[in-house]
Structure 1
Amino acid sequence: MMIIRPIERRDLADLLTLAGKSGVGLTSLPQNEDTLSARIERALKTWQGELPKGEQCYLFVMEDTERQQVVGVSAIEVAVGLSEPWYSFRVGTQVHASKQLNVYKSIPTLFLSNDHTGHSELCTLFLDPDYRNGENGKLLSKVRFLFMAAFRNHFSHKVIAEMRGFSDEQGRSPFWESVGRHFFSIEFAKADYLSGTGQKAFIAELMPKHPLYVEFLAEDAQKVIGEVHPHTAPARKLLEAEGLRYQGYVDIFDGGPTLEAEIDEIRSVKLSKLVKVMVDDGGYSPSGSTYLVANDSYDHYRALLVHGELDNEHLRINAETAALLGVEQGGAVWAIKLIQEKV
């Protein structure tokens, strides 16, 4: 059984193993024990209410209960850019025109931006390749929307998701080679690692403050602006099915797209229901639709996929499922029916 729960200190070794499998480009999951340990502590302090808004982060893990092993991770940053600057490139247009010469040319540009400051962020989504089957990816990604629906007052009005940009099998990013290398003079993997371990001062110190002309970039760099890494395409489709959209912002390192939406307009936030549990091991038959279900406990949050029967007020589940969720007869749970988008 796959279950989602808040991260715990005992998960550090499994988190390090996952980080080693994530490869280059997932800046929020570096293979660095001190950084990951600090990330766990920050998540624990967030749940305990000990951090200011700009430092809060909810970190969830997917656990294979049979093996008692963490096989996936996902997170929500509560408000980016409040404790340190949050950078993106805004893809814009600059017009060069002359009536006298009868010349009119619009040129795409990249402009360094802090426009997403204060927004909540979906981040750190990674699932062990051995578990990329069935509905595991949906569970790991969509559980964050159910959590935001249940505890809406903890988050901003808007949420963003920086998607991993294109890099080849050797970890080479065409966008970095054409942009970042000229200002940083280091390899993409190193810049990616430094950013992921919290060493971000170099971004503000070295990135250009003036617009960059896209046409001056190498052709392969131009082509990947707003494109995702092949392994990230399923995650993008899941988020777009929820209503997040690309609005012209890209990552400053690899050119990957930033998706965004008003939280209250996200499908799983709008359509999720708070219902009561009916525990039934007799007439219950696990042949109904698939639902993402979570308890209503902030401190002991649990979520999993359930084949059950849902009406406007009740969700019928068996005793084993109720125990995993930590709820009893008549207890409250949040539920949303999974849509069958292809990913």
Structure 2
Amino acid sequence: MLVVRPITPQDYAALYTCAVESGHGFTSLPVDEALLRRRIARAQEAFAREQVSEPGEEGYLFVMEDTDTGEVVGCSGIEAAVGLTDAFYHYHVGKVVHHSKELDIYNALETLTLCNDYTGVSELCTLFLREPFRKNMNGRVLSRFRMLFMAEFRNRFSDIAIAEMRGVSDANGESPFWGWLQKNFFSMDFTQADYLTGIGEKTFVYELMPKLPIYVQLLPPEAQAVIGQVHDNTRPALRMLQSEGFRSRGYIDIFDAGPTVEAEVANIKSVRDSKRLPVTIGSVADDKPRFIVCNTNVAEFRAIQAQLDDQHEHVIIDAEAAAALRVQEGDYVRFVTLTGAN
């Protein structure tokens, strides 16, 4: 059975493997031992905080484990509030109008403006599922369980959640959008800039990034073409988030121009549709639908996909599911249908 749980120090090697396999452009999972170990330690601190009244510096990092083999097959994270200590940069796509009534000329031009508008919001991040396990809706579980976690522990998160989508880059990690910035402002390649950001070295962004709005029409065609576009490998994740109610509001990544999508947490479909009921342990008929199910314990959090029988006042799960979730008769679980978002 595949079980989602909080990361532990013993998962470092598996997390490093995920970082290597995730490839270029995966900023939140750089191949850097010190940073990965710090992320694990930071996650442990977050899960250990029993009383949290408002979102702060907590970073929650989870792994999906095959309990039959002990192998970690993927990871997924949530940042409670971004940008509180390190600046969180985006470009906002806007418009300016140049109009001459006398000459009867009207031009509406797109601009890119550097901003920190998402400071303080929660972020869904670090989603990676290893190739052999991209089946049986495992990716859907590894992404959507986070919405159940946010629904269950609302005080820990902002009213708004975002997700940064990986932008277009080639097999060598080169981004057409970054190519223009590199030539004119940064004098370093995309992978180096992406790595520095991933390990928290962001001062160079403010020092070197153009501060005034950029006219999109002045960029080379190949850079213009990828603004707001996603990497081919990211399309399934974007479709899933869109089905949950996430939408782009014109914010893009400053390096690869991938879109950032956002939603009000209360209006995320899996948050809105989830139920919280006490458990009865018993047999579940084979024709019952499958759900994403989690317990209600922060430190010992567990989430799985499983068949269950919703009796409206309680929910019936089998003994194997109860053991995986670490719940007993009468404990509460939160659940949402597995096929409710496509």
- Answer yes or no: same fold by TM over 0.5: yes
Distance 1:131 1:48 in 2: 29
2:137: which partner in 1? 135
Distance 1:341 1:321 in 2: 22
1:202: which partner in 2? 204
Task: Specify the code of the residue in structure 1 equivalent to 2:98.
Answer: H
**2:10 corresponds to 1:10:** yes
**2:332 corresponds to 1:332:** yes
Distance 2:306 2:341 in 1: 18
Task: Specify the code of the residue in structure 1 equivalent to 2:233.
Answer: H
Distance 1:276 1:30 in 2: 40
Shift of residue 56, structure 1, vs aligned partner: 1.2
**2:162 corresponds to 1:160:** yes
1:303: which partner in 2? 303
Distance 1:294 1:310 in 2: 14
Task: Specify the code of the residue in structure 2 equivalent to 1:99.
Answer: K
Question: Secondary structure, in 3 states, of the residue corresponding to 1:255?
Answer: coil
Conserved? CA contact 2:27–2:198, under 8 Å = yes
Residues 1:266 and 1:53: Cα distance change in structure 2 (over 3 Å): closer
1:151: which partner in 2? 153
1:314: which partner in 2? 314
Shift of residue 132, structure 1, vs aligned partner: 0.7
Conserved? CA contact 2:55–2:158, under 8 Å = no
Conserved? CA contact 2:293–2:303, under 8 Å = yes
Conserved? CA contact 1:181–1:188, under 8 Å = no
Shift of residue 37, structure 1, vs aligned partner: 0.1
1:114: which partner in 2? 116
Shift of residue 339, structure 1, vs aligned partner: 2.6
Q: Extract unaligned runs of 5+ from structure 2.
A: none
**2:81 corresponds to 1:92:** no
Task: Specify the code of the residue in structure 1 equivalent to 2:301.
Answer: Y
Conserved? CA contact 2:18–2:130, under 8 Å = yes
Shift of residue 190, structure 1, vs aligned partner: 0.6
1:265: which partner in 2? 267
Identity %: 48
Question: Secondary structure, in 3 states, of the residue corresponding to 1:89?
Answer: strand
1:292: which partner in 2? 292
Conserved? CA contact 1:111–1:210, under 8 Å = yes
What TM-score do the two structures reach when normalised by structure 1?
Answer: 0.96
Q: 185-194 vs 94-103, which deviates more?
A: 94-103
Conserved? CA contact 1:54–1:81, under 8 Å = no
Distance 1:43 1:21 in 2: 21
Q: Deviations over 1:121-162 (max 9, x none)?
A: 011111101111111000100011000000001111101111
Conserved? CA contact 2:244–2:341, under 8 Å = no
Conserved? CA contact 1:179–1:217, under 8 Å = no
Shift of residue 181, structure 1, vs aligned partner: 4.0
Conserved? CA contact 1:290–1:338, under 8 Å = yes
Question: Secondary structure, in 3 states, of the residue corresponding to 1:179?
Answer: helix
1:45: which partner in 2? 45
Root mean square deviation of aligned Cα: 1.5
Conserved? CA contact 1:54–1:83, under 8 Å = no
Task: Specify the code of the residue in structure 1 equivalent to 2:10.
Answer: R
What TM-score do the two structures reach when normalised by structure 2?
Answer: 0.96
Distance 2:210 2:87 in 1: 15
Matched ranges for 1:57-68 at <5 A: 57-68=59-70
Q: Deviations over 1:236-279 (max 9, x none)?
A: 01111110101100000000000001100111111111111121
Conserved? CA contact 2:305–2:338, under 8 Å = no
How many equivalent residue pairs?
A: 340
Distance 2:319 2:212 in 1: 61
Shift of residue 341, structure 1, vs aligned partner: 4.8
Question: Secondary structure, in 3 states, of the residue corresponding to 1:253?
Answer: coil
Distance 1:310 1:229 in 2: 39
Distance 1:157 1:267 in 2: 14
Task: Specify the code of the residue in structure 1 equivalent to 2:298.
Answer: Y
Conserved? CA contact 2:55–2:157, under 8 Å = no
Question: Secondary structure, in 3 states, of the residue corresponding to 1:248?
Answer: strand
Shift of residue 86, structure 1, vs aligned partner: 0.8
Q: Extract unaligned runs of 5+ from structure 1.
A: none
Task: Specify the code of the residue in structure 2 equivalent to 1:19.
Answer: A
Distance 2:131 2:217 in 1: 37
